[in-house]
Amino acid sequence: MKSRVPIGGVARSAEQANRMIERGYLVIALGFDWSLFARGIAASLEGIRR
């Protein structure tokens, strides 16, 4: 029997978010403040020639 209570959670990647959607999650947060900050810095550094 399915629950009528909506479920939500935090995904650390797009793949994890997609699995959560397949399982019926209705609310998904992508990452935490620190992980989003770290990904932004990493993306910025990729374009810098060293």
What is the length of the chain? Answer: 50
SS (H, E, C) the chain: CCCCCCCEEEECCHHHHHHHHHCCCCEEEECCHHHHHHHHHHHHHHCCCC
Q: What is the pLDDT of residues 1-50, one digit of tens each?
A: 677 888 999 988 889 999 999 999 999 988 777 777 888 888 888 878 76
Q: Tell if the pTM clears 0.85, that is, is over it.
A: no
- How far apart (Å, rounded) are the C-alpha atoms in residues 11 and 18? 9
